[in-house]
Amino acid sequence: MRRISFQDGVTYTFGPDLTPIATVRSGETVEFVCQDACGGQIRTEKDTLDQLDMDQVNGATGPVRVIGSRAGDVIRIQIRDIRVAEWGFQSIVSGHGVLGDEVDRPRTKVIPIQDGFAVFSKRIRLPVRPHVGTIGVAPPAKEWTTFYPGDHGGNLDTKEISKGNSVYLPVFQPGAQLAMGDIHALMADGEVCVTGIEIAGTIRAQVDVLRGLRMNRPLVETSDSWMALASAPTLDEAAKLATHDGVQLLARGADLPWHEAYMLASIACDLRISQDVDPWRTAKLVVPKSLMRRLPRS
Ligand code: CA
Ligand code: CA
Q: What is the pLDDT of residues 104-144, one digit of tens each?
A: 999 999 999 999 999 999 999 999 999 999 999 999 999 99
Distance of CA 194 to the CA centre of its chain: 14
Cα distance between residue 149 and residue 231, in whole Å: 6
Residues 57-100 have pLDDT tens digits of 999 999 999 999 999 999 999 999 999 999 999 999 999 999 99
Q: Can you give the pLDDT at residue 296?
A: 86
Name the DSSP class of 49.
G
| CA–centroid distance, residue 296 to ligand 2 (Å) | 32
| CA–centroid distance, residue 181 to ligand 1 (Å) | 9
Q: For 219-288, CATH number? A: 3.10.28.20
**Confidence tier at 294 by pLDDT (50, 70, 90):** confident
Q: Can you give the pLDDT at residue 37?
A: 97
Q: Which ligand is nearest to the CA of 90?
A: 2
Does the pTM of the predicted model rise above 0.95? yes
Cα distance between residue 205 and residue 151, in whole Å: 21
Average pLDDT for 176-192 = 98
158 with 131: CB under 8 angstroms? yes
Q: Can you give the pLDDT at residue 293?
A: 78
Does 19 have pLDDT greater than 80? yes
**Confidence tier at 191 by pLDDT (50, 70, 90):** very high
To the nearest whole number, what is the mean pLDDT of the chain? Answer: 97
| CA–centroid distance, residue 146 to ligand 2 (Å) | 11
CATH fold group of domain 2-210: Jelly Rolls (2.60.120)
Q: Can you give the pLDDT at residue 156?
A: 98
Nearest to 133 by CA among 83, 93, 85, 180: 180
| CA–centroid distance, residue 45 to ligand 2 (Å) | 17
Q: What are phi and psi of 47, to 5 degrees?
A: -85, 120
Helix/strand/coil percent split, the chain, to 5: 15, 40, 45
Q: What are phi and psi of 262, to 5 degrees?
A: -60, -45
Ranges of each domain in the chain: 2-210, 219-288
Q: Which ligand is nearest to the CA of 183?
A: 2
Does 276 have pLDDT greater than 90? yes
